[in-house]
Chain A
């Protein structure tokens, strides 16, 4: 008998607690509060975090945005599973990936550049390299720093008779995708033997995890060379090579030379947001002072938002307004974090894409 009472009391207690939790949850979500979620590339995370904080605090206080940097591949998978409202990716979606998520818009959100960092004692700055030389070094064909090919374009520098230590990313990454894309574009040997990918079969070298891993190898190993993201190289004052662009100039990586690259490339035309971007690249841009190893990083979003689980009219509107703000006012947050802002001709492509987003077939207000 006593036993039965205990059970009844326990059941009542559990019911009260559960009811309380539900009541609390519904109270803590007052009407008008909208939350958006995204996931994907880790490269834009610092910029996105700054944008989101600024947006929530000073633009729309009723919008909560959550972005998880889980990697571009994970972001695309989440978008295909329709469990996030938007995804971030450093590489455009491949044809196979587009097939799993049809009518996805590619919205370039900021520009990344890849620098070639080196550690040669007595050559603190000013090393000049060409794309072909970089490809040969990373393929193990040029093995010494005083190789005639390197020495010829660096007449003012005495290069050491020392073996080159190559450092590359060991993790799959958009940075590797951009870098190997550049090497494939400038060297047919590289294109045929290795090709472009987030991970490739490196014939030589040491692998480091992340920008910090590669930087750790380069900074800790004399006579080494590696590739790291522009923002990381600038923040850590790494010695980076000036690379010859198609105009023939040796250009150091910087925010200005990155934006010029994208701007001069966009003048030659980019696809519309809902077209396939899989073959788009902004490498080897024609601008006089354009840095050659540059890439977009994208926000991926469905053109018709009602396919997303749990999407509502108010969420869809909030998303469109956030994206609109991101490609306009949000861009001003970039330079302080070493992200190159989008040039105006890319912003206009983004504007058309964002305006084409619909919910249940209806266009959404951008402000």
Chain B
């Protein structure tokens, strides 16, 4: 009896320490990033967030995160535009329509996509996807709609659009599996009620199921956004990695760069005694802040859907 109690308290202490370590790591990361990027904010102030220069050449140092912040937001936005409808379709199919024999293998395959390392997506993007994007999407659009600013420039397949498409593929497993759980949690009584008043399958899904699960689906989208924002390797390999004012994503067919790929590209060789290293750390801080912002929203949304789920079980 005595042993059992002490084991419990030991376990409790251990679990508390482990839980605290997560918060501790976040705190340490934030402090390290703040501390490391201090010289940048002392030197450029808040202009760092609005500047478009990125010049590490000795004597001409100028650093601004804006092109890469925009690059991150635009590629993630494209990823959501393409990835979310596909994920919704997958989830609806799996829960509402798929015959039992298809349900398990298809959902397994979709989740398998999440297990593919991002560098593999990147290589595939570099050697295969970019040529498809160039030939079947960019060249036709460029020929027909090249006069619209966001489609301007000669496309090469290594640009903001390809980066967004790679990200779309990468967020599908996350978004679709969470959405599937959400749709599954919609109580059957809702569906039965809707059918009983004469709704078609489409109307049931559109007006009742998706409506009931909307905050959960929003949470799933935000989780996908979180992944897209932080994704590094695959994007770096296909986005074209422009730098400075040239990297502002004014056209989908222009090479750009995201914050994560900027850090991955430049950090290793950054001179430790110039402003260059603090500049990369400041980009890291910006990325962390954006990631935190997105994840806080996701948490709020997911918590809300869990409450709904709990209510459904009752």
Contact = CB atoms under 8 A, between A and B. Distances in A.
Nearest to A174: B269
Interface string B90-132: 0000000000000000000000000000000000001100110
B55 A100 contact: no
Contacts, number: 127
Contacts of B3: 2-3, 6
* Interface range, B side: 35 or more
A205 B2 CA distance: 72
B53 interface: yes
Contact of A196 (B57, B240, B261): B57
Given A170-B241, A201-B53, A207 B255 contact: yes
Interface in A72-110: 72-74, 76-77, 80, 94, 96-97, 99-100
Given A195-B57, A200-B55, A172 B266 contact: yes
B274 interface: yes
B269 A173 contact: yes
B270 A172 contact: yes
B272 A77 contact: yes
Given A76-B272, A213-B237, A201 B265 contact: no
B274 A96 contact: yes
Interface in B16-62: 53-60
B273 A171 contact: no
Interface in A191-210: 194-209
B243 interface: yes
A216 B3 CA distance: 64
The 7 closest A-B pairs by CB, nearest first: A207-B241, A172-B269, A170-B241, A71-B268, A201-B244, A195-B57, A197-B57
Given A71-B268, A201-B53, A220-B130, 4 more contacts: A3-B2, A199-B265, A201-B54, A220-B127
23 contacts: A71-B268, A71-B269, A73-B271, A73-B272, A76-B272, A94-B58, A163-B154, A172-B265, A172-B268, A174-B269, A195-B60, A196-B57, A199-B243, A199-B270, A201-B57, A201-B246, A202-B243, A205-B255, A206-B240, A209-B265, A213-B237, A217-B158, A220-B130
Interface of A: 2-3, 6, 70-74, 76-77, 80, 94, 96-97, 99-100, 163, 165, 170-174, 194-209, 213, 216-217, 220-221
